[in-house]
Structure 1
Amino acid sequence: MSPRRSVVAHVKNTYLNPTETFIYERIKHIKRFKGYILADKVKYRARFPFPRIYNLRKVGNVPRFLKRKKTAVIHAYFGSTAVRILPYKLKTNIPMITSFHGKDVSKKLREKKYRRKLRSVFRHSALVLTVSHHMKRKLVRLHCPPGKIRVVKTGIDLGKFPFRRPKPPGKGAKATFLSIGRLVPKKGMDILVKAFALVHRKYPNTRLIIVGKGSEASRLKKLVRRRGLKSSVRFEGMLSHRGVRRMLRKAHIFVLASRTAKDGDQEGLPNTLVEAMASGLPVVTTNHSAIPELVRHNKTGYVARQGDTKDLARKMKKMLRTKKKWRAMASKARSVVVREHNIRAQVRKVERLYRRVARSG
């Protein structure tokens, strides 16, 4: 592969939703290939700056544009993006890599047309990347050739999330639970609020902070009022990445109550959990999707049954009772993140795959 061909087209239907920092971190850290963005919609450009961003609808002849850019690899983020770019890819000899992240192998599968088109995506993708072994098994069940699938974990910049030994609240101080995520059904924020109500009944000197925005916001605030928790639950709305890091430093325990939504929507591997574990926060979460691959119950956190309010409340209470375990649990959790979710190590994997695919293309 000659240097002039060392170009990757990062294709995304929308560049970039606020919760997709994990995609930006990967693109930003790729150094051995020159990259550019190709997207139907461009949002939050100031939040996710990149020097070369092009509107897919405005570039004219897309196959000609790809060739003019001397594109060596097309990397489509999400199955729906791969479906969108595939007709153009087929008019070139440029190999394509497709990444799957969550909704594209859960909720989207209810669309027959999408399922049908996935067969072509699998057939014409040189490689298929996924963030977990759980998702790899789902792709195999969808008839993606196992030999094409590579598990590449989500990565974070460890320098931005320095480890701090967990410090239980002092005598008389409030214990703060923190949850970060979109206010949508699969995040289980309603389950969390109900579980916190049970925790607060026994431990009144606790509070819950929820960071994020979404369609469930008004319903969740009503639920908080009905449970008499208005003075103990705070909604922070959407924060910048710097604001998220600040909240992680202030909290005592991180909680994520992910579950499968009624429409089938599921998580991939929540990056907020990775960031909390990297920061030294003890975590309580659920056995949803690939989360057990990240959080080992009783070792790096406590894992409750998804959708089970009482079990989540039990695990939250257990975390409050077992403060002496926090330091050892948090140290093991940080080790998992360093070993499996270092953005630089994960990006090197991706670059090796780019090189391999470009040479064979």
Structure 2
Amino acid sequence: MLAQKPTAFEVAGRRPVALQRCDAFVGRTTNWLYDHLRFVPRYTPLVLCDNLMLRDEFPELEAWVVGGERFFQRVWRRVAGQAVYPVDAWRLSARAPVVLHSHFGYVAAEDFAVRRHLETPWVVSFYGADVYLLGTQPEWRERYAKVLGDCTRALALGPSMAKSLTELGCPAAKIRIHPLGVDVQAIPYAPREFTPGGTLRVLFAGTFVEKKGLRYVIEGVALARRAGLRLELHIVGDRGGRPEEAWVRDEILELIRRLGLDDCVRQHSWVRFKDLLALALKCHVFAAPSVTASHGDAEGTPFVLQQMMATAMPVIATVHSDIPYIFGQHVSLLVPERDARGIADRLQRYAEVPETMTREGLALRERIRNAFNVRACAARLSDLYDGLRSGNGHP
């Protein structure tokens, strides 16, 4: 591929546009995408999404909605197949994007029309369920074969996901590991301190789906409580959008009742991110015991885990997917999947030896600050765009 000529925007001294395709912007559990795009240097992100959400919390980036087609667009698609509707094509051409970046594999599978219209390098990022759940289904494996064959780069959150992409048929030369970054400077932190005999406050935040492993937090808290530990479990979240996993919420509520934990569990549903941070600073331990779900779904790298690490909170997480990649040299702190006893033992140790909790929390913050700072991660994304545009980034 030849190096691209400067666009009219660049000639005028303005940043080139990097078109970002996603489904929801900004979803309650995908605020990481907003942070990541805000800090991309040398490029102006333009978001093309199906649903525009939470603009009062996340107002900065320009975003267009493409969902909810008008009558003439529906007629055009029926007549012209996958061609971009002329008015939309004109709007896109006027902004002259120099790269198309599709976020989530299932979004990319719908982006061929945009890809053909723009004729730019095409980057596709994968994040979790799009690989581990959809990637097990024959119809999606077929669709992904086309995406991975046509895209210029496929980005994985870590080595485990990169391996899964090769198993889906992606040429290894196209794959790059590109983790999510945390805005460490914007996240308040405090060394966690605990007085033996007090109440240890544990925090969980996430969607009520099987892969989050919430039941094992609850069972671990019950075991530690029976051993005499005073505990509060704060649960932030609610059921997910998939009907097939609606049972998880019912199971969680029944488990809390059956184990007699109603008096020590505090449920918060969804909260604003600033309120989650305020609650986190009042808690001692964050629990993220991810598991591989019975239908095959798995995490990528739970972003809230990285955010909580940045607050200097010790984290109880599992040897799952690319979580070991996030922990790096601290991987020995992880517990096995579905190990309620391991969670209880860790809580007991933190309560009995509080300085361990303090030391581990500070070490995990340093890990995030040094390896997953959003500014450094976003700069590497810009470098990737630069390489693709110059022709040096192709296999």
User: Normalising by the residue count of structure 1, what TM-score does the alignment of the two structures yield?
Assistant: 0.93
What's the CA shift for 1:51? Answer: 4.5
- Secondary structure at the counterpart of residue 266 of structure 2: strand
Counterpart amino acid of residue 232 in structure 1 = C
Identify unmatched segments of 5+ residues in structure 1.
none
Q: Which residue of 2 aligns with 1:191?
A: 216
Does residue 219 of structure 1 match 2:251? yes
* C-alpha distance 116-65 of structure 1, shift in aligned 2 (>3 A): farther
Which of 243, 260, 267 does residue 292 from structure 2 map onto?
260
Distance in 2 (alpha carbons) for counterparts of 1:65 and 1:161: 37
> Is 1:321 aligned to 2:325, yes or no?
no
Q: Which moved more, 1:172-181 or 1:320-329?
A: 320-329
> How many residues are aligned here?
359
Q: Does 1:30 align with 2:50?
A: no
SS at the partner of 1:114? Answer: helix
Q: Which residue number corresponds to residue 170 of structure 2?
A: 144
Cα deviation 1:62-81 (Å, max 9, x = unaligned): 55543232010011000011
Question: Are 1:41 and 2:47 counterparts?
Answer: no
Which of 278, 289, 305 in structure 1 is aligned with 2:321? 289
Report the Cα offset of residue 255 of structure 1. 1.0
1:296/1:302 contact within 8 Å kept: no
From 124, 129, 132, the equivalent of 1:106 is 132
Residue 307 of structure 2 corresponds to residue 303 of structure 1: no
In the alignment, the residues of structure 2 paired with residue 133 and residue 78 of structure 1 have an alpha-carbon distance, to the nearest angstrom, of 17
Superposed, 1:241-256 pairs within 5 Å as 241-256=273-288
Deviations 1:97-134 (A, max 9, x none): 00000011111123322111111211221111111111
CA-CA distance at 1:54 after TM superposition: 1.5
- Alignment partner of 1:123 out of 149, 171, 179: 149
Task: State the Cα deviation string for residues 187-214 of structure 1 (Å, max 9, x = none).
Answer: 0111211121111111341111111111
Paired residue for 1:339?
A: 370
Q: Percent identity?
A: 24
Q: Name 2:263's counterpart in structure 1.
A: 231
Question: Which moved further from structure 2: 173-182 or 36-45?
Answer: 36-45
1:7 maps onto 2:17 in alignment: yes
Aligned mates of 1:204, 1:327 — CA distance in 2 = 18
Deviations 1:5-44 (CA, angstroms, capped at 9, x unpaired): 6111110122232100111111122242112111122232
Residue in structure 2 matched with residue 180 of structure 1 by the alignment: 205
Check whether the contact 2:158–2:178 (CA below 8 A) recurs between aligned residues.
yes
Per-residue deviation, residues 268-312 of structure 1 (Å, max 9, x unmatched): 111121112111111111111111122358x47732111232233
Q: 2:104 maps to what in 1?
A: 78
- Alignment partners' CA distance in 2, 1:79 and 1:229: 40
Larger displacement relative to structure 2 (96-105 or 119-128): 119-128
Q: Secondary structure at the match of 2:29?
A: coil
Q: Report the more deviating stretch, 211-220 or 18-27.
A: 211-220
1:54 equivalent among 41, 49, 64: 64
Contact 2:196 2:352 in 1 (8 A): no
Question: For the residues of structure 2 that align with 1:180 and 1:296, how far apart are their CA atoms?
Answer: 22
Instruction: Using structure 2 for the length normalisation, give the TM-score.
Output: 0.85
Q: Distance in 1 between matches of 2:128 and 2:210?
A: 14
Matched residue, 1:200: 225
Shift of 1:231: 0.6
Matched to 1:2, the amino acid is P
- Give the ranges of 4+ consecutive aligned residues of structure 1 lying more than 6 Å apart after TM superposition: none
1:48 to partner: Cα distance? 2.6
Among 369, 384, 389, the residue aligned to 1:353: 384
Q: Deviations over 1:129-172 (max 9, x none)?
A: 1111111111112221111111111111112223322211x254
Deviation at 1:320, TM superposition (A): 2.8
Distance 1:86 1:203 in 2: 59
Distance in structure 1 (CA, Å) of the matches to 2:108 and 2:31: 20
Aligned residue for 1:304, secondary structure, equals: coil
- Contact 1:300–1:333, Cα closer than 8 Å, also in 2: no
8 Å contact from structure 2 (residues 193, 355) kept in 1: no
